[in-house]
């Protein structure tokens, strides 16, 4: 199990989504999807956040994570997107950013919200007809290839949605 850096009472779980530039199916390239998955877990292992559920779709990423501070969702996305862009340029000579600017984030505050977000993430490939079951899709927490972090504890406040430029 991973440990978070700088854990405080401002920590929280978030459903984070980021899209590729112009919604292009850049992540259908298996090498690129594997690279993004590796980066997700390298930062998790470094204590930047906990990974509860994720799916790397052909044109976007959904991540259900717990971050160490309230401001950390933006930092987590900056780390993931920045490193992925850097590695694409270095390894595959991709010159421009593969990402759309910003990301969508919603704080998860209850067990019901957590369960609904997890189900949404894991059902995403099935809805997109990329597999008949969530477990069939290779770049998802549903397939069991990666060890995930345990579910956090929750308060009872209502969620807030926001858009953030990264």
| pLDDT at 70 (0 to 100) | 56
What is the per-residue pLDDT for 161? 44
- Joined tokens for residue 151: 């579910």
The pLDDT of residue 95: 84
Dist. CA 128–CA 59, nearest whole Å: 11
Residue in 100, 111, 78, 103 with CA at minimum distance from that of residue 163: 103
Q: How far apart are CA 79 and CA 81, in angstroms?
A: 6
| Nearest in space to 105 (alpha carbons), one of 50, 141, 139, 62 | 62
Q: What is the CA radius of gyration of the chain?
A: 15
Was domain 12-164 assigned CATH 3.30.70.1290? yes
Per-residue pLDDT in tens (0 to 9) along the chain, 166 residues: 455 555 444 458 999 999 999 999 999 999 999 999 999 999 999 999 999 999 999 999 999 999 876 568 999 999 999 999 999 999 999 888 999 999 999 999 899 999 999 999 999 999 999 999 999 999 999 999 999 999 987 654 544 444 444 4
Look-up of token digits 């997109």 = 128
Per-domain residue ranges of the chain: 12-164
Check residue 6 and give its pLDDT.
Answer: 52
- pLDDT, position 115: 96
pLDDT of residue 142: 97
């Amino acid at each position: 199990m991973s440990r978070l850096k700088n854990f405080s009472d401002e920590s929280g779980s978030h459903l984070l989504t980021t899209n590729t530039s112009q919604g292009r199916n850049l992540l259908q390239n298996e090498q690129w999807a594997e690279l993004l998955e590796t980066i997700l877990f390298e930062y998790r292992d470094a204590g930047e956040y906990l990974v509860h559920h994720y799916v790397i779709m052909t044109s976007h990423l959904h991540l259900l994570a717990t971050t160490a501070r309230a401001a950390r969702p933006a930092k987590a996305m900056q780390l993931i997107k920045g490193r992925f862009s850097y590695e694409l340029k270095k390894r595959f000579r991709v010159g421009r950013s593969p990402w759309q600017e910003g990301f969508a984030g919603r704080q998860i505050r209850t067990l019901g919200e957590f369960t609904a977000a997890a189900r949404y993430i894991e059902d995403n490939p099935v809805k997109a007809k990329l597999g008949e079951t969530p477990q069939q899709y290779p770049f998802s927490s549903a397939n069991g290839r990666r060890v995930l972090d345990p579910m956090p504890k929750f308060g009872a406040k209502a969620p807030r949605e926001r858009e953030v430029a990264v």
